[in-house]
A = this chain, B = another copy of it.
Amino acid sequence: MEYIYAALLLHNAGKDVTEENVTAVLNAAGVEVQDARVKALVAALEDVNIEEAISKAAVAPVAAAPAAA
């Protein structure tokens, strides 16, 4: 989930979720960054409405199965 947390951190900070930014955040956290995963994350999130996903979470914190990220 580190990659997801990094994306949400950036999003919450009002920054763009770019490869560069995600990599910088992960590096700062001491994570050994895999470029392909960062690229996959950024590409995948292009089509995801983060705001909407977050508000879903705020409304109903229900049990959810974590999937690999």
Contacts and interface: CB of A to CB of B under 8 A. Distances in A.
Contact of A62 (B13, B21, B55, B69): B55
A59 B68 contact: no
A5 to B, nearest CB: 4
A66 to B, nearest CB: 5
Count the copies.
6
Interface residues of A, number: 49
A59 to B, nearest CB: 5
Contacts of A65: 55-63, 68-69
B68 A66 contact: yes
Contacts of A56: 61-63, 65-67
B29 A27 contact: no
